[in-house]
Structure 1
Amino acid sequence: MTEQPTEQPTEQPQWNYLTDMDGVLVHEEHLVPGADEFLAELKANGSRFLVLTNNSIYTPRDLRARLAHTGLDVPEDAIWTSALATARFLSDQRPNGSAFVIGEAGLTTALHEAGYVLTDVDPDYVVLGETRTYSFTAITRAIRLIEQGARFIATNPDPTGPSREGVLPATGSVAALIERATGMSPYYVGKPNPLMMRSALRALGAHSEHTVMIGDRMDTDIHSGIEAGLHTVLVLSGISTRESAERYPFRPTMVVDSIADLVGRTADPFRAG
């Protein structure tokens, strides 16, 4: 009698995680309950993960310190910003190029580390990021450089940003001003452009098939995750509600109240039960 080969158990895939920061892990300056347990579980499982943000103001070191203040231990190399994605994109497009930059240390540091020279004389690109002190002089200079042939890049399309006093104009609003003055539309690198997701996957060394994007916004996080071929989880601890999510023509893979609902299931987030 011929012995039948023993059936080998199917190996479970290792899931990778991309997670938005504000509204998912932290809310303003406070920890979202369960976020610390979620990250601890990822580390214990050996899961690869990146914390994503469209904010281009801060360097990963700055953001690590901010997260540590809330009680979250996130390594610098596990933080991916629109500034880093922009620097990676420009380095791929035109290595060792030059740029006139409106932005803060998060953006200028990323571009310097990518080999870029920052200049206001005949730059290859005008790169617009977020800052709390937009200068009319700098905006005027950007307009003139674009008119002279510089290519227009913006880190992200967010029209406003939060502050303790209320909303502030952000990159998208200032980009609209420059676009109106020049007639040139910027290329946005950050969410909802799936390019940000793909650059994060490259940085992580992960494949989309077994990667989850967790976010609190349908219009940026879930949109870009779906377009990049990722599994998506919408948390209701930030911007979106169940009612507002229903108005979109696309749906996340899963909707949960908060990141705490994923604790205990990161090894297989979409298992039944």
Structure 2
Amino acid sequence: MSERKPIESWLTDMDGVLMHEGVPVPGADVFITKLRESGKPFLVLTNNSMYTARDLHARLNRIGLEVPAENIWTSALATAKFLDQQHPGGTAYVIGEAGLTTALHDVGYVLSDADPEFVILGETRTYSFEALTKAIRLINDGARFIATNPDNTGPSPQGALPATGSVAALITKATGREPYFVGKPNPLMMRTGLNAIGAHSETSAMIGDRMDTDVLAGLEAGMETFLVLTGLTAKEDIDRYPFRPTTVVDSIADLVDLA
């Protein structure tokens, strides 16, 4: 196997890598500071579509992580970018929060429940039975089905929460229609992110805490991959997968010297 080129740009997941249940992971602040001082292009990625980049900038800033809004890439932004390229100026019925609706408005989409071209599903704090029923009927009537990400559960201090993937499965069961998932592990999210910062996969690395999304997405996008053990994947879980990260480290603190 040929040696990889030096890392010139970084993509990193947020939850489980930079922070865990609202608390910064030790070393995350130093890593981000070094990246900013070095001038290397970087993005903080999240499959969560609820928040805008400005919202996430403020949340990270409150816990001591200074990440500019332009260095944050969400599944909502990736979904809006995908739709703008595939079907500009369209109409959509959306189940989601401000992160998703704002991203769609910004690319010129009209949000409507009257014969929309797309049904777009993202995260929300409260999935409404009425909204899900509406989505099912619109898909049955011909609307195309898009979901921001395939995550089945999300973290909370009380335990797992149902996330977009689980709700998408409910809609699929009722309609027989599978959604197109834009977020990780779809390499589309990684490639659009790399394009946003002018980076190339051959000289980029992905840091994540999940084998099934972060590592897989980085691998399929042709990037070097680092798995940290501060999130959802334990070391003993790695061998369950038919693929491996390039490197496994305890936490992002172990990568400071590479930044």
TM above 0.5, yes or no, is yes
Query: What fraction of aligned residue pairs are identical, expressed as a percent?
Result: 68
Which residue of structure 1 lines up, in the alignment, with residue 54 of structure 2? 61
Which residue of structure 2 lines up, in the alignment, with residue 4 of structure 1? none
| Whole-angstrom CA distance in 1 between matches of 2:254 and 2:163 | 32
Query: 2:203 is aligned with what amino acid?
Result: H
| Whole-angstrom CA distance in 2 between matches of 1:119 and 1:213 | 36
| Greater than 3 Å deviation, 4+ residue runs | none
Give, in angstroms, the shift of residue 166 of structure 1.
2.4
| CA RMSD after TM alignment | 1.0
Give, in angstroms, the shift of residue 125 of structure 1.
0.3
**Counterpart check, 1:82 vs 2:89:** no
| Whole-angstrom CA distance in 2 between matches of 1:143 and 1:215 | 33
The 5 Å alignment of 1:1-273 reads: 15-266=8-259
Check whether the contact 1:104–1:131 (CA below 8 A) recurs between aligned residues.
yes
Any stretches of 5+ residues in structure 1 without a counterpart?
1-11, 267-273
The alignment partner of 1:264 has SS state of helix
Q: Bigger radius of gyration, 1 or 2?
A: 1
The alignment partner of 1:214 has SS state of strand
Against the structure 1 CA distance between its residues 234 and 14, is the aligned structure 2 distance closer, same or farther, given a 3 Å change threshold? closer
Any stretches of 5+ residues in structure 2 without a counterpart?
none
Query: 1:124 is aligned with what amino acid?
Result: E
Tell me the TM-score normalized by structure 2.
0.96
Check whether the contact 1:14–1:47 (CA below 8 A) recurs between aligned residues.
no
| Whole-angstrom CA distance in 1 between matches of 2:178 and 2:197 | 30
| Whole-angstrom CA distance in 2 between matches of 1:27 and 1:149 | 40
Check whether the contact 2:7–2:205 (CA below 8 A) recurs between aligned residues.
no
Q: How many residues align?
A: 255
Which residue of structure 2 lines up, in the alignment, with residue 3 of structure 1? none
Give, in angstroms, the shift of residue 14 of structure 1.
5.8
| Whole-angstrom CA distance in 2 between matches of 1:41 and 1:264 | 9
The alignment partner of 2:170 has SS state of helix
Deviation string, structure 1 residues 36-74 (Cα, Å, up to 9, x no partner): 100111111111000000000000111111101110000
Tell me the TM-score normalized by structure 1.
0.91
| Whole-angstrom CA distance in 2 between matches of 1:214 and 1:14 | 12
